[in-house]
Amino acid sequence: MKITAIEIGKIAIPLKTPFITALRRVDVAEDLVVKVHTDDGHTGYGNAPATVVITGDSHESVAAAIKYIIGPKLIGRDIDDREDILDTIHQSMVHNTSAKAALDMAVHDLFGQRYGLPLYRFFGGRKTRIASDLTISVNAPDTMASDAVRAVSRGYSHLKLKVGIDPAMDFQRVAAIRKAVGPDVTIRLDANQGWKPKEAIRLIGRMEDAGLAVELVEQPVPAADFDGLKQVTDHVATDIMADESAFSPRDVFRLLAMRACDLINIKLMKAGGLAPAAQIAAMADAAGVACMMGCMLESKVGITAAAALSAGKAVITKNDLDAADLMAADPVRGGITYDKDHLVVPDAPGLGITAIDGWLPLKD
Ligand SMILES: C[C@H](N)C(=O)N[C@H](CCC(=O)O)C(=O)O
Ligand SMILES: [Mg+2]
């Protein structure tokens, strides 16, 4: 099975409600989807949503990296040389993790197809269903409370609340939601870098004193401030998770060595795909630090790949793989299905994706 061509196209999917974080607002999710074709008629799928405020990657930069730098090095390569192809993807250029993730995913998809192996089995095959939280966008406290109640009525028992806009109002947001959903719903927070270290320590302490029962706080401080992240971790009882601080395996090695966080959020778009994401999971496992499998605002292509890794690794104990469930339409045929708050992984070879509706090839 040899790679013969790589096509790049885009899909646009309206969201059920606007996605609002401390970093950005999105009304329509746009995802770049690559198709990697082989000489025996197979197609491997991968995706790369542009999340410029987090990864720095735009659709233009992803397409250029694939088309001019990494892609040409993959043409003619045999899928049986998987590790060698993955080395090429990851060593062709620095940064550009979204472009690398899209190609790494497609290569794994083709490898699964080559051997009739569902990807979740390739990564360990521990489960066929994984539970995810649902994200509640940052808004006025009463709006967030009603969004949270609606999410619980849809079957979600874990909610990830976006905060990080301003600490006093963030306290009101969490208090309003806890009051609305009661004590049995798990509440996790994602500040998306919005607080300063001392501000975070005071605010999380206040939430602890008020008995708001927050399970974890994701990325309280700016991504580059590893010392600030450690300061927060060391001064609160609530678990602190690194997200934007934890891109590459090397970042995670540093975070683990510093004991700067209690948990790691792994995302394919930050790590550069499944191979480096699996490396991160293995390092965290060795350090005794549990992980969340997270996602960007991306289609079911990337969510299916992330779910396959999560379903195979015991160290991944939490999932924030709700992106495709935040969307009002699903143009991806095959892949995972949502069953209330669970994702069911496909039993078909590779990612099990058969077609993408509304996929428009990128023009030069
Ligand atoms: C979609 C997922 N639940 C999520 O919240 N991811 C964000 C970043 C997503 C984005 O801005 O596209 C995160 O965990 O920070
Ligand atoms: Mg996050």
pLDDT digits (tens, 9 = 90+) for 219-232: 999 999 999 999 99
CA of 249 to the centre of ligand 1 (A): 20
Marked catalytic residue, from 267, 300, 313, 318: 267
Biggest CA–CA distance in the chain, Å, is: 62
For a ligand 1 pocket test, name from 24, 53, 135 the mutation site with the most ligand atoms within 8 angstroms of its C-beta: 135
CATH 3.20.20.120 for domain 121-355: yes
Mean pLDDT of the chain: 98
Task: Let me know: does 226 contact 236? Beta carbons within 8 Å.
Answer: no
Question: Which strand ranges, in their side-by-side order, compose the sheet holding 360-361?
Answer: 43-49, 25-38, 3-20, 360-361
CA of 17 to the centre of ligand 1 (A): 14
Whether 267 is a known active-site residue: answer: yes
Pick the residue whose CA is nearest to atom 5 on ligand 1: 135
Marked catalytic residue, from 35, 127, 160, 162: 162
- Domain locations in the chain as residue ranges: 3-116+356-361, 121-355
Assembly ipTM: 0.98
Task: Let me know: does 49 contact 296? Beta carbons within 8 Å.
Answer: yes
Using CB distances shorter than 6 Å, the residues near ligand 1 are 21, 24, 51, 54, 135, 190, 192, 243, 294-297, 320, 322-323
Residue 220, token pair as written in the block: 């309280």
| Prediction pTM value | 0.98
Closest approach atom of ligand 1 to CA 133: 3
In this predicted structure, what is the pLDDT of residue 363? Answer: 79
Average pLDDT of the segment spanning 296-317: 98
Average pLDDT of the segment spanning 313-325: 98
Closest approach atom of ligand 1 to CA 192: 15
Closest approach atom of ligand 1 to CA 322: 3
Coil, helix or strand for 245? coil
pLDDT digits (tens, 9 = 90+) for 213-271: 999 999 999 999 999 999 999 999 999 999 999 999 999 999 999 999 999 999 999 99
Please list the residues that pair with 36 across neighbouring strands. Answer: 6, 44
Residue 259 is inside which H or E element, if any? none
Pick the residue whose CA is nearest to atom 8 on ligand 1: 296
CA of 5 to the centre of ligand 1 (A): 31
For a ligand 1 pocket test, name from 295, 300, 325, 327 the mutation site with the most ligand atoms within 8 angstroms of its C-beta: 295
Task: Let me know: does 361 contact 7? Beta carbons within 8 Å.
Answer: yes
Task: Let me know: does 302 contact 49? Beta carbons within 8 Å.
Answer: yes
pLDDT digits (tens, 9 = 90+) for 53-73: 999 999 999 999 999 999 999
The DSSP line for 163-215 is --S-HHHHHHHHHHHHHHH-TTSEEEEE-TT-S-HHHHHHHHHHHHHTT--EE
Radius of gyration of the CA atoms of the chain, in A: 20
CATH of domain 3-116+356-361: 3.30.390.10
CA of 77 to the centre of ligand 2 (A): 36
In the chain the first and final C-alpha atoms are separated, in Å, by: 28
